[in-house]
Chain A
Amino acid sequence: MRITCPICGDRDLREFHYRGAAKLMHRPAPDAGDEAFYDYVHIRENPPGLNRELWFHELGCRAWLVAERDVTSHEFKSVELAAEAKRGAK
């Protein structure tokens, strides 16, 4: 697997650290209640196809990235900066 970092370009998998589902960027408000935190901390959609996920370009520009990847073929469909993804989602 290689990942195309929006800043550094096409790089080896070994430069990246995987964090998990992109939903981790959207922490519920402190008063959102137990159910919201249970869902945020523990529940994962875990789809067999396209997964939205967080990668950290640890040995590169050290930017957090949001990628869309097919977890059955390992093919990346898109990679963007997490900061921009978050701005876009708002």
Chain B
Amino acid sequence: MRYSALGVFWHGLTGNKGWKPVWRNPDPKPHYDVVIIGGGGHGLSTAYYLAERYGIRNVAVLEKGYLGSGSIGRNTTIVRANYMLEGNSQFYSHSLKLWENLEAELNYNVMHSQRGQVMLGHSDGQMDMLARRGNMMRMQGDDAVLWGREDVRKHLPYIDHENARFPVYGGLMHWRGGTARHDAVAWGYARGADMRGVDLIQNCEVTGIRVEGGVVRGVDTTRGHIGAGKVALTAAGRSSQVAAMAGLRLPIESHVLQAFVTEGLKPVIPHVVSFGMGHFYISQSDKGGLVFGGDLDMYNSYAQRGNLPMVEHVAEAGMALMPMIGKAKMLRSWGGVMDMSMDGSPIIDKTDIAGLFLNCGWCYGGFKAVPGSGDAFAHLIASGNHHPAADKFLLSRFRTGHVIDETGNGATPNLH
């Protein structure tokens, strides 16, 4: 079914009784050309681009829970292209361009809103750093504007500009940055893949990967054995666990990241704002809730829930930047498991096992990467060659020392 304004109007007049489920719920077939492990953003977008751009339609996405139950439905939805290093910079730039046409491409409203994302600076040193980042973003061909104090006052009148410890010196505005409705991104890709013949198989946990003579043959699942010509791994926070089924050991630790949402309020925060002196970033959803988050809890975790010290830290940072949100009631908080790589950058690569492909290490930036990653991974699976926008995301870089360490923290995954 193609969505249109007229269709929405017509369904409205007929009591909204005519809507049908958006994807099938098929039983697994005995064999597929490509089996994708993990029905999050990356698995679903990979399936979509395999079918749409490369004509590979005998594909299954195996998901242990329901589609979108992982981090794709748990993130703070920020979409941006403000990376600095060769490798990351061209990739996120490519991904943002795909975002800009995503709704037309998928015929699905993912509520992508380029409302602008601003990083604030609170010292001369931080302003120099923002200027440098802005220049690198512009050299990549993306947008960035350096704001002085007065610009910040004009656009963000509601923050505490004169905080005694962290006065605002300026900021870096990335106008093409913004947010999108996270679930809708999963659903839009799922629908697009299903319409092109991809089987989306839920409640199907992969428990083993079969390799014979160095070649991948298929997977064992809670719904039986499924043969496969190629197997693609997109299990995000559980990448280490799934890769171990094929004997691979990864440069990854799993960590928990929390997020928070308040009750719905009238429009008050028009952009995405990140504090420069504490871990706090915020935007307002179209429903009115203030959606905000901070840093990792810092210790390894597969729990999808965090502890109170980080809640306290995020609340304190929020109050330091914008005391006005202090009276808003917090509705919910939750956590998601992040595949933190040792240099903070992702991996999109082949493996030593023929037919087994790896996509992981998204850290807490994997939502904005969903279109670019799916496109690049599908390209790699279909052609065997790296997509030009993602040809630095090699697993071997950790062995050769060509790490892409955006924050310069070294092999400490929780600090990236």
Contact = CB atoms under 8 A, between A and B. Distances in A.
B414 interface: yes
Contacts of A69: 299-300
B250 interface: yes
A73 B303 contact: yes
A72 B303 contact: yes
B397 to A, nearest CB: 10
B253 A43 contact: no
A18 B298 contact: yes
Contact of A71 (B249, B302, B413): B302
Interface string A12-36: 1110001011000000000000100
Contact of A46 (B250, B299, B399, B412): B250
A1 B307 contact: yes
Given A20-B414, A48-B241, A38 B398 contact: yes
A47 B249 CA distance: 11
Given A13-B307, A20-B412, A44 B250 contact: yes
Contacts of A38: 398-399
B238 A48 contact: yes
A43 B342 CA distance: 8
B317 interface: no
B301 A71 contact: yes
Given A1-B307, A38-B398, A18 B299 contact: yes
B15 to A, nearest CB: 45
B249 A45 contact: yes
A62 interface: no
Q: How large is the interface on A (under 10, 10 to 19, 20 to 34, 35 or more residues)?
A: 20 to 34
A46 B307 CA distance: 20
A90 interface: no
Identify the interface centre among A12, A20, A44, A53: most chain B CB within 10 Å of its CB. A44
A74 interface: yes
Given A42-B342, A42-B398, A74-B301, A18 B414 contact: yes
B250 A43 contact: yes
A48 B300 CA distance: 9
B298 A46 contact: no
A89 interface: no
Interface in B265-322: 298-303, 307, 309
Interface string A49-90: 001010000000000000001011110000000000000000
Contacts of B241: 46-48
A53 B253 CA distance: 12
Given A1-B307, A41-B411, A48 B251 contact: no
A1 to B, nearest CB: 5
B399 A51 contact: no
A44 B301 contact: no
B250 A71 contact: no
Interface in B202-257: 238, 240-241, 249-254
B89 to A, nearest CB: 23
A44 B240 contact: yes
Given A14-B309, A51-B300, A71-B303, A44 B252 contact: yes
Contacts of A48: 238, 241, 254, 302
A46 B253 contact: yes
A42 B240 CA distance: 13
B238 A44 contact: no
Interface in B295-353: 298-303, 307, 309, 342
A89 to B, nearest CB: 21
Nearest to A53: B300
Given A20-B414, A46-B254, A74-B303, 14 more contacts: A1-B299, A18-B414, A20-B300, A41-B342, A41-B398, A41-B411, A42-B398, A42-B399, A43-B251, A44-B249, A44-B342, A46-B250, A46-B253, A48-B238
12 contacts: A12-B309, A18-B298, A18-B299, A20-B300, A34-B399, A38-B398, A41-B398, A42-B342, A44-B249, A44-B250, A46-B252, A71-B302
Interface of A: 1, 12-14, 18, 20-21, 34, 38, 41-48, 51, 53, 69, 71-74
Ranked nearest first, the 9 interchain pairs of A and B with the lowest CB-CB distance are A46-B240, A42-B251, A42-B398, A18-B299, A42-B342, A48-B302, A71-B300, A72-B302, A14-B309
